[in-house]
């Protein structure tokens, strides 16, 4: 599995190989001819490393989806990742604290956690992420999401706007 991924792609269980080929092709279509894509070992999850900024890649993929929706057959969601660390509460807290300046003083946030293959407590992970962010929490309509994507011993971390995740099925319509 890629250890320095900056995109996670969800797909149907058993279609990881097809989703890997698809995302590699689609990244090439938006100008990234040097991307790397690999299965994660988690059913229904693929990791990619794009040479583009992951948020820029998401926007370009969103434009491509509007133009050629039929080319998105296996990818369900494409999730931008800013930083990857070991799945360790202290490391996660440190990185989230560094990235937290992206949440402006008047903005709200929530922590969203997706956990796969780890015994680390969800409460511990969420508490560590939120501990040093002195902003209001809004669980329903936050301005920013502190996203923790745990894949076994690695955790992808991002602070994003709610629409920064490309949800293929919802946006295809």
Shared-domain flag, residues 52 and 117: no
Q: Which two tokens stand for residue 7?
A: 């995109």
Q: What is the dihedral of CA 79, 148, 99, 2, to 10 degrees?
A: -60
- Contact indicator for 52, 60 with CB cutoff of 8 Å: yes
Which CATH number characterizes residue 54's domain? 3.30.2130.30
> What domain count does the chain have?
2
| Mean model confidence pLDDT for the chain | 97
Residue 156: what pLDDT?
98
Model pLDDT for residues 50-90, shown as the tens digit of each residue? 999 999 999 999 999 999 999 999 999 999 999 999 999 99
Shared-domain flag, residues 77 and 100: no
| 121-124 LR contacts (CB < 8 Å, sep 24+) | 124/89
Residue 61: what pLDDT?
98
Calculate ∠ Cα 78-74-147, nearest 5°: 20
Range of the domain at 115: 83-160
Q: pTM value?
A: 0.94
Confidence band, pLDDT 50/70/90 cuts, at residue 172: confident
Confidence band, pLDDT 50/70/90 cuts, at residue 1: confident
Q: Containing H/E element for 90?
A: helix 89-99
Model pLDDT for residues 95-121, shown as the tens digit of each residue? 999 999 999 999 999 999 999 999 999
């Amino acid at each position: 599995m890629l250890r320095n991924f900056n995109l996670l792609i969800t797909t149907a269980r058993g279609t990881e190989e097809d989703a890997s080929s698809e995302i590699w092709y689609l990244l090439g279509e938006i100008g990234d001819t040097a991307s790397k894509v690999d299965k994660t070992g988690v059913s229904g999850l693929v990791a990619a490393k794009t040479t583009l900024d992951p948020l820029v890649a998401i926007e370009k993929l969103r434009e491509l989806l509007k133009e050629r929706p039929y080319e998105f057959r296996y990818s369900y969601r494409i999730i931008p990742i800013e930083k990857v660390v070991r799945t360790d509460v202290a490391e996660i807290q440190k990185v989230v604290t560094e990235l937290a300046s992206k949440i402006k003083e008047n903005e709200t946030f929530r922590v969203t956690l997706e956990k796969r293959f780890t015994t680390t407590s969800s409460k511990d992970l969420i508490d560590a992420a939120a501990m040093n962010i002195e902003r209001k929490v809004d669980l329903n309509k936050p301005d920013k999401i502190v996203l923790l994507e745990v894949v076994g011993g690695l955790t992808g971390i991002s602070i994003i706007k709610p629409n920064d995740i490309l949800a293929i099925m919802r946006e295809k319509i």
